[in-house]
Chain A
Amino acid sequence: MTAEAEPSADTASPAASAEGAVAHADAASDFPSIELSGIVQEYPTPDGKTLRVLDGVDLTLDRPGITMLLGPSGCGKSTLLRMMGGVRPTGVQTPTKGTVRIGGKPCDGPHEDAVMVFQRYANRPDLSIHENVALPFRFSMWKKRVPRSEVKTRVRDILAAVGLGDKHDLRPAQLSGGQNQRVALARALVLRPRILLMDEPFGALDAQTREEMQLLLGKLLVENPCVVVFVTHDVSEALVLGDRVLVLSASPAKIVDDIALDEPRPRSTAWLMSSAIVDVKDRVLERLHESRTHGQVRLSF
C-alpha cells in the first residue's frame, strides 16, 4: 500500500516519506513547526454581512516535506497559506478566531523562517536575473544576516540549481513564464528558508512546463529540505508532489481528509496509474463532492 488514508480529518498525520524523498524525520527538530488552532476567518461583504471562509481549521506541520493544501478554487486555501506566511489583508482581523504559531511563537506578520512563492512571480523588470534573485539582500533584515561576500556565491549556486546558470544577465522580459517562475523560486530558496509556502506557483504554466517545475521542486527539496506547504486545486499535482495531502471543503473550508503518500519523488506514471492511487483520487473527488463543491478542481491525468 503506497497511500495511507487517515480516518480523522482533525488529526494531523505526519507524512511518512520513504528513502530518497524529501522528508527527513530525524532532522525534524531542526525545522520550526507550524501550528494552526481553531482557525476561523470571516470577511465583510459589500451588503454588510460577513462571509465565513475558513471554519475551524486545526493543523500541525512539524517536519520537512511537501504538504499539499488541495481544494476547489475560492475555498480559502490561499487565505490559510497567507496566514502561515504572515501576509495579512489590511482592515480585516486575521484570523478572526484561532491562533497561528510558528516555532511555538505567535505569528502575526511576515516571519523570517517562512518565505512565500506566488503564482504571480513579481520579478522586477528593470533588474537582471542575478539582481532579482539577490533582491532580498538589499533589505536590512538580510543585509545584517548574510555577508555581502556570500551573496554572490549563494545567487550563483541557486541559479545553477534551478537551471538558469547561463541567464544571469538577462532581464525577466527575455525569459519564458516557466523561467520567470524559476527566478521567483530561486529568490525564495536563496534565503535558505526552513518553511516554504507556495501559492499555486505553477498554476499559470502550461502542462509541460508545470511538470518540469514539479520535477525541479522535488530535486531542489532533496538538496535543501524544508517544510513546504503547497496550495493547489489540481488533484494530480497534489498526488505528484505531496508527502501529505490535506483536502479542504468548499467555502467555508474545513479539512475533510488527510492523506499520507510515502512514494519517493519523482513518482512514476505506473505508480500514479496504480489502483491504490486511482482509489485515492476517487476518494479525494468524493470528499470534494460530499462537501458540495462549487469551485473548480482540476484533474489532469
Chain B
Amino acid sequence: MWNPYQQLSGTQRRLLGFGSLGVVLLAWGLLTGLGVVRPARLPAPWAVGSAFLRLAWDPEKGESPLLDHTLMSLTRIVVAGVLVVVIGLPIGILMGASPRINAVLSPLVDPFRSAPVVSLLPILVIWLGIGETMKVAFLFLGAVVFLIPMVRDAIVSVPEAHWISARDLGATPWETIWHAVVPIAKPRIADAITVSVSIMWTYITVAEYVNAQVGLGALIQNARRFSAMDQVLVGIAVIIALALVTHAAMRALKKRLYPWEVEV
C-alpha cells in the first residue's frame, strides 16, 4: 500500500480509477435523487445526461448545437496553439541556448507564469476589441508564458557532455544546438506543448465569456444566465473530456515519436 514504486497492473488502475468515479456519481445521484440538494443548485446525473442528448441533436432544427460549440472552441484552440508553438518554441530554444538572451527575456516572460493572466482580459478587449482576435490572443498569452520557460528548461537540462562532444567534433555553435541539443530535448518540449494545450482548455471558458455566440464557454455562459445548470455541467463535462482526449492523444503521439526516451 505505502510503496511509491509499486507497479499496478492496467486492470488494477482501471478498477480503482473507475471505482472512484463511480463513488462520486453514486453520491451525486443519491444527493439529488433523494432531494437533499435542489435541482436548481445541482441537477441529477440523469438530468445532465438528458441535457447532453438535447444539445447533441436538435431534431427541430436538424442540427447539433453541441457540435457547433465544440468545433468553434476547438478551432480557437488550434489557431492559438499553432501560434504558441510557432512563436513560443523558437523563443524558448533561443533562451535555452543563450544565457544572454535568457537574461534579457526572462524578466519579461517568467513573472507571467505566476501572474493572473485573466486580469489581462480587459486590456486585451481595449486593445483588440471583442472579436476573434481577442479570444485567440488571450488563449495564446495564457499558454505561451508557460511554454517558453518550459522549452528553455528542456534545452538547459540536456547534459553539457553533448554540447562539449559536438563542439569538439567540429560542430559550430548552431550546429551543436540543432544536432546535439534540440533532438535530445524534444521529449520534454513535447511535454511542454501538451501542458500548454491543457492550459488553453482551462482558459477557453474565460476567452469565450466576452461576446461569444458560439463556443463551449459561450454555451456555459448563456446557460448560466438562464439558470440551466444541467447545460452548464454538460459544457464543463465536454471541456474536461476534450482536454483529456487531447492530452491522451498527445502523450500517445509523443510515445510514438520518441520511443527512445530514456534518462540522458
**In the complex the two chains form, what is the Cα distance from A125 to B184 in whole Å?**
7
User: How far apart are A202's CB and chain B's nearest CB, in angstroms?
Assistant: 16
Indicate whether A138 reaches chain B with its CB closer than 8 angstroms: yes
Q: Enumerate chain A residues within 8 angstroms of B107, measured Cβ to Cβ.
A: none
Q: Contact at B264–A125, with CB atoms within 8 Å? A: yes
Of the candidate stretches B8-16, B87-95, B163-171, the one touching chain A is B163-171
Q: Contact at B175–A140, with CB atoms within 8 Å? A: yes
**In the complex the two chains form, what is the Cα distance from A125 to B185 in whole Å?**
11
Q: Enumerate chain B residues within 8 angstroms of A87, measured Cβ to Cβ.
A: 164, 167-168
Q: Which of A115-135 contact B (CB under 8 A)?
A: 115-116, 118, 120, 122, 124-127, 135
Q: Which of B163-190 contact A (CB under 8 A)?
A: 164-172, 175, 179-180, 183-184, 186
**In the complex the two chains form, what is the Cα distance from A139 to B33 in whole Å?**
70
Q: Enumerate chain A residues within 8 angstroms of B104, measured Cβ to Cβ.
A: none
User: How far apart are B98's CB and chain A's nearest CB, in angstroms?
Assistant: 11
Could you say which of B164, B166, B168, B262 has the most chain A C-beta atoms within 10 Å of its C-beta?
Answer: B168
Q: Enumerate chain B residues within 8 angstroms of A173, measured Cβ to Cβ.
A: 260, 262
Q: Enumerate chain A residues within 8 angstroms of B165, measured Cβ to Cβ.
A: 116, 118, 122, 184
Beyond A122-B161, A124-B183, A126-B184, whether A135 also contacts B260 by CB under 8 A is: no
Indicate whether B46 reaches chain A with its CB closer than 8 angstroms: no
Chain B window 231-264, contacts with chain A (Cβ cutoff 8 Å), 1 for yes, 0 for no: 0000000000000000000000000001011101
Within 8 Å by CB of A115, from B168, B258, B260, lies B168
User: How far apart are B257's CB and chain A's nearest CB, in angstroms?
Assistant: 9
Q: Enumerate chain A residues within 8 angstroms of B168, measured Cβ to Cβ.
A: 85-87, 110, 115-116
Q: Contact at A187–B169, with CB atoms within 8 Å? A: yes
Within 8 Å by CB of B170, from A120, A124, A125, A136, lies A136
Q: Which of B75-126 contact A (CB under 8 A)?
A: none
Indicate whether B162 reaches chain A with its CB closer than 8 angstroms: yes
Beyond A110-B168, A136-B170, A138-B175, whether A124 also contacts B161 by CB under 8 A is: no
Q: Contact at B169–A120, with CB atoms within 8 Å? A: no
Indicate whether B131 reaches chain A with its CB closer than 8 angstroms: no
User: How far apart are A197's CB and chain B's nearest CB, in angstroms?
Assistant: 8
We find that the number of chain B residues with CB closer than 8 angstroms to chain A is 23
**In the complex the two chains form, what is the Cα distance from A111 to B188 in whole Å?**
33
Indicate whether B19 reaches chain A with its CB closer than 8 angstroms: no
Chain B window 136-174, contacts with chain A (Cβ cutoff 8 Å), 1 for yes, 0 for no: 000000000000000000000001011011111111100
**In the complex the two chains form, what is the Cα distance from A172 to B260 in whole Å?**
9
User: How far apart are B188's CB and chain A's nearest CB, in angstroms?
Assistant: 13
Q: Enumerate chain A residues within 8 angstroms of B164, measured Cβ to Cβ.
A: 87, 116, 118, 122
User: How far apart are A149's CB and chain B's nearest CB, in angstroms?
Assistant: 20
Q: Contact at B179–A125, with CB atoms within 8 Å? A: no
Indicate whether A171 reaches chain B with its CB closer than 8 angstroms: yes
**In the complex the two chains form, what is the Cα distance from A140 to B178 in whole Å?**
12
Q: Enumerate chain A residues within 8 angstroms of B167, measured Cβ to Cβ.
A: 87, 110
User: How far apart are B169's CB and chain A's nearest CB, in angstroms?
Assistant: 4
Q: Contact at A142–B170, with CB atoms within 8 Å? A: yes
**In the complex the two chains form, what is the Cα distance from A125 to B175 in whole Å?**
17
**In the complex the two chains form, what is the Cα distance from A86 to B170 in whole Å?**
11
Beyond A110-B167, A139-B179, whether A125 also contacts B172 by CB under 8 A is: no
Indicate whether A112 reaches chain B with its CB closer than 8 angstroms: yes
User: How far apart are A115's CB and chain B's nearest CB, in angstroms?
Assistant: 7
Q: Enumerate chain B residues within 8 angstroms of A171, measured Cβ to Cβ.
A: 260
Indicate whether A1 reaches chain B with its CB closer than 8 angstroms: no
Q: Contact at B172–A139, with CB atoms within 8 Å? A: yes
Beyond A122-B161, A124-B162, whether A136 also contacts B169 by CB under 8 A is: yes
Q: Contact at B180–A124, with CB atoms within 8 Å? A: yes
Q: Which of A200-230 contact B (CB under 8 A)?
A: none
Q: Which of A78-98 contact B (CB under 8 A)?
A: 85-87
Q: Contact at A122–B162, with CB atoms within 8 Å? A: yes
Could you say which of B171, B172, B262 has the most chain A C-beta atoms within 10 Å of its C-beta?
Answer: B171
**Closest B residue, CB atoms, query A197:** B168
Q: Contact at A126–B175, with CB atoms within 8 Å? A: no
Q: Enumerate chain B residues within 8 angstroms of A127, measured Cβ to Cβ.
A: 183
Q: Enumerate chain B residues within 8 angstroms of A86, measured Cβ to Cβ.
A: 168
Indicate whether A270 reaches chain B with its CB closer than 8 angstroms: no
Q: Enumerate chain B residues within 8 angstroms of A115, measured Cβ to Cβ.
A: 168-169
User: How far apart are A126's CB and chain B's nearest CB, in angstroms?
Assistant: 5
User: How far apart are B171's CB and chain A's nearest CB, in angstroms?
Assistant: 4
**In the complex the two chains form, what is the Cα distance from A181 to B262 in whole Å?**
17
Known: A116-B168, A139-B175, A191-B169. 6 other contacts (CB 8 A): A110-B168, A118-B165, A122-B161, A125-B262, A127-B183, A191-B170
Sampled A-B contacts (20; CB under 8 Å): A86-B168, A87-B164, A87-B167, A110-B167, A116-B165, A122-B162, A122-B165, A124-B183, A125-B261, A126-B183, A135-B169, A135-B179, A135-B180, A138-B179, A139-B171, A139-B172, A141-B170, A141-B171, A142-B169, A184-B165
